[in-house]
């Protein structure tokens, strides 16, 4: 029996994870949390609404922590799992982006294993299993391009949160859906991939695959490529992370090849500058990725509340990065302070 602590149980990933746990006799929910929503109807041994997630983890003694909290708020749980040698099924990419080096140090000390839940990283993880670093030429992250793919800047001046929330292929929480529309999500995933797989940025490519059937690819040095395919359904990577190294059955229909469209195109980084900004930020390192993430969270919240225009999101993030000095964080307290300072960026 594997004891699962599900953080962010009321969210999009959280609800799908409950479905997976309930369908699998070898998984049990030892803990469930939310930020403020009630946890009614969620049968877990320990529950917690708000508060310090590490206290919940201390008392529930999980075998695996599924971190499905949105944003920097998930950072303490990520570091707890890595430091305590507990498997971390990681959906909360923001924590690895913001804490990169600290997270890897915690992992070196504690031995916690990261099992990616982000579909692209789960795909890469599976394509890389059993390979050595020398065999790999580059990682290729795929993205749908979001609801505004193909538009030019002039067509984005007046887009509303409702327009941006209409994602073509995935049904997700609001923050990641806006990130998908700006391509910030692909930027966060680029930095996440760098830390997860220890691959330099110049060997991580991004390509758009609008139907989200190809979840990512790896190029090997002999010219061979491995790709991971499937319908866009987060229950697959959630299930893989929770049952790893086994593969449990899921209720998905088999992929119908006769209805597949597998076109690829390059991302438009001029219309959607967040991807290039994330690459630059990741390459600069230090606490720049933490600042990128914090300012993006602030800008996305302001856009969703109607206080900021869509095209102003990258401007806010660019301003925050220009104000930051990016020096590496010595510890979590340092990082929390960098995050706090970056959030003070004025938005309309
Ligand atoms: N959704 C997807 O398909 C998908 C795919 C790949 C990766 N991810 C990643 O998975 C994470 C979750 O995404 P989501 O779409 O599931 O988000 P979501 O639907 O907005 O759910 C977020 C969850 O986090 C909880 N939460 C929010 N603020 C919190 C805080 N300060 N402290 C503790 N818990 C808090 C929420 O509780 P309340 O209900 O109380 O607000 C909710 O349970 C994100 O990092 C996202 O990038 C999601």
Q: Which atom of ligand 1 is nearest to the CA of 14?
A: 16
Cα–Cα distance measured from residue 20 to residue 238, given in angstroms and rounded to the nearest whole number: 8
Question: Is any ligand 1 atom within 6 A of the Cβ of residue 143?
Answer: no
Q: CB neighbours of 146 closer than 8 A, spacing ≥ 6?
A: 164, 167, 168, 180, 181, 182, 183, 185
Question: Is any ligand 1 atom within 6 A of the Cβ of residue 14?
Answer: yes
Q: Which two tokens stand for residue 198?
A: 């220890």
Question: Is any ligand 1 atom within 6 A of the Cβ of residue 47?
Answer: no
Q: What is the residue whose two structure tokens read 């507990």?
A: 86
Give the distance (Å) from ligand 1 centre to CA of residue 259: 32
245 cis-preceded (ω within 30 degrees of 0): yes
Look at ligand 1, atom 13, and give the residue with the nearest C-alpha.
Answer: 70
Stretches in the chain below the pLDDT threshold 50:
none
- How much is the pLDDT for 250? 94
Residue range 99-137, pLDDT digits in tens: 999 999 999 999 999 999 999 999 999 999 999 999 999
- How much is the pLDDT for 327? 97
Question: Is any ligand 1 atom within 6 A of the Cβ of residue 237?
Answer: no
Cβ–Cβ under 8 Å, residues 168 and 314: no
Q: Which residues pair with 130 in a beta bridge?
A: none
- How much is the pLDDT for 84? 98
Give the distance (Å) from ligand 1 centre to CA of residue 127: 26
Give the distance (Å) from ligand 1 centre to CA of residue 143: 20
Ligand 1 pocket mutation, candidates 5, 9, 12, criterion most atoms within 8 A of CB: 12
Q: Which atom of ligand 1 is nearest to the CA of 119?
A: 6
Cβ–Cβ under 8 Å, residues 63 and 4: yes
- Torsion sign over Cα 320, 199, 263, 236: negative
Q: Which two tokens stand for residue 306?
A: 């109607």
Cβ–Cβ under 8 Å, residues 237 and 122: yes
- How much is the pLDDT for 71? 98
Look at ligand 1, atom 21, and give the residue with the nearest C-alpha.
Answer: 11
Cα–Cα distance measured from residue 80 to residue 308, given in angstroms and rounded to the nearest whole number: 35
Look at ligand 1, atom 44, and give the residue with the nearest C-alpha.
Answer: 70
- How much is the pLDDT for 348? 73
- How much is the pLDDT for 261? 85
pTM given for the model: 0.98
- How much is the pLDDT for 170? 86
- How much is the pLDDT for 174? 97
Give the distance (Å) from ligand 1 centre to CA of residue 13: 7
Cα–Cα distance measured from residue 57 to residue 86, given in angstroms and rounded to the nearest whole number: 10
Cα–Cα distance measured from residue 9 to residue 3, given in angstroms and rounded to the nearest whole number: 15
């Amino acid at each position: 029996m594997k004891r699962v602590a599900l953080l962010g149980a009321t969210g999009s990933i959280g609800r799908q994870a409950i479905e997976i746990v309930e369908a699998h006799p070898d998984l049990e929910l030892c803990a469930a949390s939310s930020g403020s929503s009630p946890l009614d109807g969620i049968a877990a041994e320990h529950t917690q609404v708000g508060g310090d997630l590490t206290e919940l983890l201390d008392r529930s003694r999980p075998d695996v922590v599924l971190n499905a909290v949105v944003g920097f708020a998930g950072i303490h749980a990520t570091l707890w799992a890595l430091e305590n040698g507990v498997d971390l099924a990681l959906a909360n990419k923001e924590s690895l982006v913001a804490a990169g080096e600290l997270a890897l140090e915690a992992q070196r000390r504690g031995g916690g294993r990261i099992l990616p839940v982000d579909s692209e990283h789960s795909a890469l993880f599976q394509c890389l299993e059993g390979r050595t670093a020398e065999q790999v030429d580059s990682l290729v992250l795929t993205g749908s391009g979001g609801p505004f793919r193909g538009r030019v800047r002039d067509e984005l001046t007046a887009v509303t949160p409702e327009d941006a929330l209409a994602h073509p292929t995935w049904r997700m929480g609001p923050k990641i859906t806006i990130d998908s529309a700006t391509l910030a999500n692909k930027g966060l995933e680029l930095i996440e991939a760098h830390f997860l797989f220890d691959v330099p940025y110049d060997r991580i490519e991004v390509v758009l695959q609008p139907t989200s059937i190809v979840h990512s690819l790896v190029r090997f040095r002999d010219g061979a490529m491995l790709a991971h395919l499937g319908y866009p359904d987060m229950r697959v990577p959630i299930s893989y992370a929770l049952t790893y190294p086994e593969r449990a059955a899921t209720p998905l229909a088999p992929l119908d090849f006769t209805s597949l469209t597998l076109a690829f195109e390059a991302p438009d980084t001029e219309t959607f500058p967040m991807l290039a900004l994330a690459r630059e930020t990741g390459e600069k390192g230090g606490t720049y990725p933490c600042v990128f993430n914090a300012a993006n969270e602030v800008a996305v919240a302001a856009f969703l509340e109607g206080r900021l225009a869509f095209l102003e999101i990258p401007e806010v993030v660019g301003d925050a990065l220009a104000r930051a000095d990016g020096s590496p964080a010595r510890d979590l307290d340092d990082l929390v302070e960098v995050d706090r300072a970056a959030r003070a960026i004025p938005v309309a």
